[in-house]
Amino acid sequence: MSKRDVVWLLKKYGLKPSKRAGQHFLIDDRVAWRQIEYADVSKSDVVLEIGAGLGSLTEKLEKVAGKVYAVEKDERLCKILQERCERAEILQGDFLKLELPKFNKVVANIPYSLSSAITYKLLKLRPEVAVIMYQKEFAERMVAKPRTKQYGRLSVLAQFFADVELLEVVPRRSFFPPPRVDSAIVRIRQRRELDTIGEEFLEFVGVLFSQRRKKLKSGIRKLGVSECDFDVERRPEELAPEELWTLFQIIKAELKKRKG
């Protein structure tokens, strides 16, 4: 779908992109096809799309997937999708609140303001693979390494529970209207279940990273532990996700021992 196509559709239906909803429509078909290739979509797949918009990605997905569920919150856009898409099933509503059908892959250009919440829910849903368009800065934080400025709780969430790859940067001119930021395509393959213990771990990481530049001993004191069998002279931003998990297990065992 080109810029001309998008402008024509918006004019035809008397619509203007909503700034509040962060509506920016993909106008580079090559990018859309690469997203599908990155997810290795085939007729054996049931694909979920989040934020289908005008259907630039949807119309391609339904050509190669066995089944496509396209989620779109904007009722006006859902009407357009239902007219333009032949095989995709359009689900009108908020992805974060919808009860979703079964699917095994996700390919989506999501609203950037909901990136954290959507990523968290996807990790709970555990698709085989998710290929997501994020704001470039957000994507860089997902794959950031320890001792870097971007490394934080999001990096730990993404890298501990999944294998994440930043595949390519997509310039803002690939969308209409163009956003103020560049975008990036990320592939997520989950490797751990985000269960109750996982949620406790993320809360633990959040406490430590609230004082990311202070030594660990300061953070663990906030959790009720004064010392433990770990090098607490290091800083949270220096620890890889696996090291943070080891520390979490040590602190959890220490607290359990004290309660017992």
Q: How far apart are CA 183 and CA 171, in angstroms?
A: 6
* CA–CA dist 217, 15 (Å, integer): 55
44-96: pLDDT as tens digits: 999 999 999 999 999 999 999 999 999 999 999 999 999 999 999 999 999 99
* 211 exposure class (CB count in 10 Å sphere: 0-12, 13-18, 19+): middle
- pLDDT value at residue 222: 87
Mean residue pLDDT across the chain: 95
Looking at residue 94, its pLDDT comes to: 97
- Kindly list the distances between the CA atom of residue 175 and the CA atoms of 5, 32, 128, in Å, as whole numbers in the listed order: 12, 11, 28
pLDDT at 43: 98
Identify whether the C-beta of residue 127 lies closer than 8 Å to the C-beta of residue 48: yes
- Residue 35 identity: Q
* Helix or strand (DSSP H, E) at 161: helix 153-161
Q: Residue 146: pLDDT above 70?
A: yes
Residues 6+ apart with CB under 8 A from 173: none
Is the Cβ–Cβ distance between 131 and 107 less than 8 Å?
A: yes
Q: Is 135 helix (H, G, I), strand (E, B) or coil?
A: strand
Q: Whose structure tokens read 């971007």?
A: 150
Fold of 3-190: Rossmann fold (3.40.50)
The 10s digit of each residue's pLDDT in 106-119 is: 999 999 999 999 99
Residue 108 DSSP one-character state: E
- Where do we find the tokens 């890889």? 240
Do residues 71 and 93 make contact, with C-beta atoms less than 8 angstroms apart?
A: yes
Asked if 98 contacts 76 with a C-beta cutoff of 8 angstroms, the reply is no
What 8-state DSSP symbol labels residue 112?
G
pLDDT band per the 50, 70, 90 thresholds, residue 258: confident
Query: Which pLDDT value is given to residue 260?
Result: 60
- The number of C-alpha atoms within 13 Å of 66 and in the hemisphere containing its C-beta is 10
Residue 177 has what DSSP assignment? S
Q: Give me the residue spans of the domains in the chain.
A: 3-190, 196-259
Domain 196-259 has CATH 1.10.8.100: yes
Kindly state the tokens that stand for 175: 């969308």
Q: What angle do CA 227, 231, 232 make, to 5 degrees?
A: 55
